[in-house]
Amino acid sequence: MLIGELAAATGLARDTIRFYERRGLVSGERRANGYRDFPPESVPWLQYVRTAQALGFSLAEIARLGEDLREAPDCAERLSALFEDKIRIIDARMDELSALRADLVARVDTGCPLRAAT
């Protein structure tokens, strides 16, 4: 399928698909006329990429984890494990942010440490 067809099927801009191609997330064979020919399985894969991004996964994570998903005997089980890992990371970050917030709240109205107390 040509890039325009892939764009129409996924709702992505052609430039976005080209960007993903440069990042190694999707690839198309070059035809004799120079046009890219993408396999049909690119459609669900690119839809997954967009969903994974919306769920907080970086493109680097998606690229790295994509191989795991493609090779996993049980894709659904592996995907659930990846989600659980991401939840743990988010929970840890929320704890860090909560501690940071508490530290900031404690410092409100405590004066400027750069000025001598008068």
Q: Over its length of 118 residues, how does the chain's per-residue pLDDT go in tens digits?
A: 999 999 999 999 999 999 999 998 999 999 999 899 999 999 999 999 999 999 999 999 898 888 777 777 888 888 898 899 999 999 999 999 999 999 999 999 998 888 876 6
pTM over 0.75: no
Give the burial string for 26-39 (b: 16+ CB within 10 Å, else e). bebeeeeeeebebe
